[in-house]
Amino acid sequence: MQLINIGYGNMVSSERLVAVVSPDSAPIKRMVTDARDRGLLIDATYGRKTRSVVVTDSDHIILSAITPQAIGGHLETEE
């Protein structure tokens, strides 16, 4: 199992990742709101601005304070 750093010491399994996207579009904002309502939202921003949204195969949505490009770079270096 490979763990990917999503910022501030938080890790997620690379096997569970479906997408890492920017939080700016309306569909992503709607997805975050729906996950919050269903109790499937994990906020890993430590109070900072959300810069990326990580979607997992278990329908959990993880908010991160680092950019999608940085998370992608962590993913590439792990492989």
CA atoms within 13 A on the CB side of 19: 9
pLDDT in tens, 28-49: 999 999 999 999 999 999 999 9
Per-residue pLDDT of the chain (79 residues; tens, 9 = 90+): 899 999 999 999 999 999 999 999 999 999 999 999 999 999 999 999 999 999 999 999 999 999 999 999 988 776 6
- The predicted structure's pLDDT at residue 76: 77
Distance CA 51, CA 57 (A): 20
pLDDT of residue 16: 95
Instruction: Supply the DSSP string of the chain, one letter for each residue.
Output: --EEEEETTEEEETTTEEEEE-TTSHHHHHHHHHHHHHT-EEEESTTS---EEEEETTS-EEEESS-HHHHHHHHHHH-
